[in-house]
Amino acid sequence: MDASRFDPDRPDVLTRAWAAGLEGIVIPAVGPDTWEPLLELPRKDARVQVGLGIHPQLLPELPPERDTEHLERLDALLARGGAVAVGECGLDGPSTTGAPLERQVHVLRGHMALARKHGLPVLMHCHRLHPAMIEFLKEEPFPEAGVLMHSYSGGVELARFYVQKGCHFSFAGPVTWAEARKPLDALKAIPLERLMAETDSPDQAPTPHRGQRSEPGYLPRIVEGMAKVRGEPVEVLAQRTTANARRFFREAFPPPSR
């Protein structure tokens, strides 16, 4: 929601989201320049919460010699309060040409240490680097508050490893795409208590909006897609993913008005 593609109509996008039945939105940071502006959002509306971190796709744009400085500043901001998670952070295969895997792992290890220090969950990105992520999680102490595999796109065997480690999983628009076989097979195998739903706005819009800008108000389409794949009632899946999110984010969202 902090992306520039929402600048023309951000208030209208939020209005549509609440009208669609959403009770809370988590906006993950992608880089240091967005941290302070994001922290202002929950102060204006408690239904909007934020995570603070450095997305691996942004690392090629940041000087490596400032990685330690950025992590120290992130530590200070997390200590101040106002964030419900660390991230979005993780590993990204297409970014390795500009940010080698060794650097990505170093920065991710810093995020994990901060999550353990501040008792916060991690919003984890992993794209085309699941073998490296598995090796990382085998070695790295797991944050007590948990790890959420954001917009999970891996197969069922990978999912079984992440389940065993204690990860949660969030699914986005691809669950409504006919050709997205691997994540759909994984979705069937993940325990219901580990599932959440997201739009990954402004990317990965669900059918019938595919190819357009995604927005939070499309979340019901994704929940419907998840329920169809799992063979469960939409209402049950909506209630459980909402309850899971409230628990995972430590009841950060206000109770829904009735």
pLDDT at 7 over 70: yes
For the stretch 209-243, pLDDT in tens is 999 999 999 999 999 999 999 999 999 999 999 99
Give CA 146 to chain center in angstroms. Answer: 12
Residues 121-127 have a mean pLDDT of 98
Q: Tell me, what's the pLDDT at 173?
A: 96
List the beta bridge partners of residue 171: 197
118 is in an annotated binding site: no
Distance CA 216, CA 1 (A): 8
- Please check the confidence at residue 71 and state whether its pLDDT lies above 90: yes
pTM (2 decimals)? 0.97
Exposed, middle or buried: residue 116 (CB in 10 Å: 0-12, 13-18, 19+)? Answer: middle
Mean pLDDT of the chain: 96
Report helix, strand and coil shares of the chain as percent, to nearest 5.
55, 15, 35
Q: For the chain, what are the domain ranges? A: 4-248
Query: Is 168 within any annotated ligand binding site?
Result: no
Radius of gyration for the alpha carbons in the chain, expressed in angstroms and rounded? 17
In tens, the pLDDT along 142-180 reads 999 999 999 999 999 999 999 999 999 999 999 999 888
Q: Is 88 annotated as a binding residue?
A: yes
Which residues are paired to 50 by β-bridges? 27
Tens-place pLDDT, residues 96-120: 999 999 999 999 999 999 999 999 9
* pLDDT at 181 exceeding the cut of 90: no
DSSP per residue, 144-207: TT-EEETT----HHHHHHHHHHT-EEEE-GGGGSTT-HHHHHHHHHS-GGGEEE---TTSSPPT
8 Å CB contact between 17 and 47: no
Residue 150 annotated as part of some ligand binding site? yes
AA identity, residue 231:
G
Tokens standing for 246?
């409230």
Residue 258 has pLDDT above 80, yes or no: no
Stretch 25-48: mean pLDDT, rounded? 97
Q: Which helix (H) or strand (E) holds 245?
A: helix 234-248
Asked whether the beta carbons of 190 and 171 are under 8 A apart, the reply is no
- Among 3.40.50.300, 3.20.20.140, 3.30.420.10, 3.40.50.1970, name the CATH number for the domain at 4-248: 3.20.20.140
